[in-house]
Amino acid sequence: MKKSILSKTTAAALGAFLLIAALPGCSGGGAVNTSGNTASADASNPTPAGAAKEPAAAPKSVSITNVSYDPTRELYERYNKLFQEYWLKEKGQEVEITQSHGGSGKQARSVIEGNEADVVTLALEGDVDEIRKAGLIDEGWVKRLDKESAPYTSTIVFLVRKGNPKNIKDWDDIVKSGIEVITPDPKSSGGARWNFLAAWAFSNQQNGGDEEKNKEFMKALYSNVTVLDSGARGSTTTFVENGQGDVLLAWENEAFLSQKEHPGDFEIVTPSLSILAQPSVAVVDANVKKHGTEEVATAYLQYLYSDEAQRLEGQNDYRPSNPDILKEFGDTFDLNIKLVNIDDDFGGWEAATEKFFADGAIFDQIYKR
């Protein structure tokens, strides 16, 4: 009797252990298969001529990591394919591009902590500059690429529910009591900083530069915020998928994307004044030197300015920095919106960060409940 129990139990235990032991084993096999599949999928771009151009000079493939912010997920998914084709044609080399997305400030932090990005494509200059301060990006990076290293721009708009039931037209409508506002946390999100500054600029214009009144205005605005997510995409899903709030302060491209995902459910409201949001891109010098990827990483960012890429950015609802191509998208974007900008109206990111977002600065003062 006892013996039979024992043998049964040992068999069961053995079975369970086999199952457990088999898991990592079979996972290894799976991994090999899938990576094989990707390689062949990536190689499906037919460019036989490119391969012949540079026979054995460079290694056959190279891989880079692009650490980006939240709303660029769809853009870079497409852009990476475009660049892979281009690079294969130019250099006969396959590029594997690994993406990472999250709140812009959070992403910058992770690069500083050792997430080895070859390029960063973040929501604002200030976040990239934090990485420079940590010693990973060389001085003067802003001037290394055209247009202050911002290949595409955007602005901040309102996304409201169908029919605009709360009749939201401009910034002073969203500070009224009873309006629920969704925006991310300016401490961790780049988009949230643009939101904050756009609202501030509006108030500043209304109140003739009275700082105390501006603070009152911002206090009223942030007391209407019901959900403060850590990144722009989190806020979008809070508003769009989870149905929270009356108005979402959103990147223009994020607002368009929400409309595309849910046709007819949302309306975009362009306020009377907004801000020219310039997402910045940079090669992370210390990491590309370590990985030997300087050339491809630089080309990856430069190609963002090419006509094809500029059009792709426009199709993904970012405003192309090339004025001629921007005009092609005149039907998509409201090109007459009055835009303030960070350098002329706020004295650059360094000053703006110090004044508004540093510990104990204006955001901390007005967000205390």
Partner 1 sequence: MRSKTLQIFLILLGVLFVALMLLLPLATVLAYALRQGWRIFAAAITDNYAVKALNLTLLAAGITLVVNTTFGIFAAWAITKFRFRGKQALTTLIDIPFSISPIIAGLVFILIFGRIGWAYPLLEAWKVKIVFAVPGIVLATIFVTFPFVSRALIPLMQSQGSDEEEAAALMGAKGLEIFRKITFPHIKWGLLYGVILCTARALGEFGAVSVVSGHLRGKTNTLPLHVEILFSEFRLTAAFAVASVLVVIAVIILILRNIVEYRLKKEEE
What single-letter amino acid sits at 232?
A
Q: Which of 45, 99, 164, 244 binds partner 1 (CB under 8 A)?
A: 99
Smallest CA-to-CA distance from 237 within 313, 159, 175, 179 is with 159
**What is the H or E stretch that residue 247 is in?**
strand 247-251
Residue count, binding to partner 1 (CB under 8 A): 43
Q: Which of 50, 94, 95, 101 binds partner 1 (CB under 8 A)?
A: 101
Judged by beta carbon, residue 73 or residue 89, the one nearer partner 1 is: 73
Q: Does 332 bind partner 1 (CB under 8 A)?
A: no
Distance separating alpha carbons of residues 271 and 174, to the nearest angstrom: 11
Q: Nearest distance from residue 185's CB to partner 1, in Å?
A: 15
State how beta strands 119-121 and 156-161 pair: unpaired
Q: Does 14 bind partner 1 (CB under 8 A)?
A: no
Cα first-last separation, the chain: 70
Judged by beta carbon, residue 162 or residue 290, the one nearer partner 1 is: 290
DSSP secondary structure code for residue 318 in this structure: P
Q: Does 268 bind partner 1 (CB under 8 A)?
A: no
What single-letter amino acid sits at 21?
A
H helical segments located in the chain: 2-42, 48-53, 73-91, 104-112, 125-133, 146-149, 171-174, 190-206, 211-223, 232-240, 252-261, 285-291, 294-302, 307-315, 323-328, 342-346, 348-352, 362-367
Q: Does 237 bind partner 1 (CB under 8 A)?
A: yes
Q: Nearest distance from residue 238's CB to partner 1, in Å?
A: 11
Q: Which stretch binds partner 1 (CB under 8 A): 86-94, 98-106, 196-204, 216-224?
A: 98-106
Residue window 108-137: x/- pattern of binding to partner 1, with contact defined by CB under 8 A: --x-xxxxx-----------------x---
Smallest CA-to-CA distance from 171 within 277, 249, 251 is with 249
Q: Which stretch binds partner 1 (CB under 8 A): 33-41, 293-301, 319-327, 353-361?
A: 33-41
Residues at the interface with partner 1 (CB under 8 A): 6, 9, 12-13, 16, 20-21, 23-24, 26-28, 30-31, 34-35, 37-38, 41, 65, 67, 70, 73-74, 98-102, 110, 112-116, 134, 233-234, 237, 240-241, 257, 261
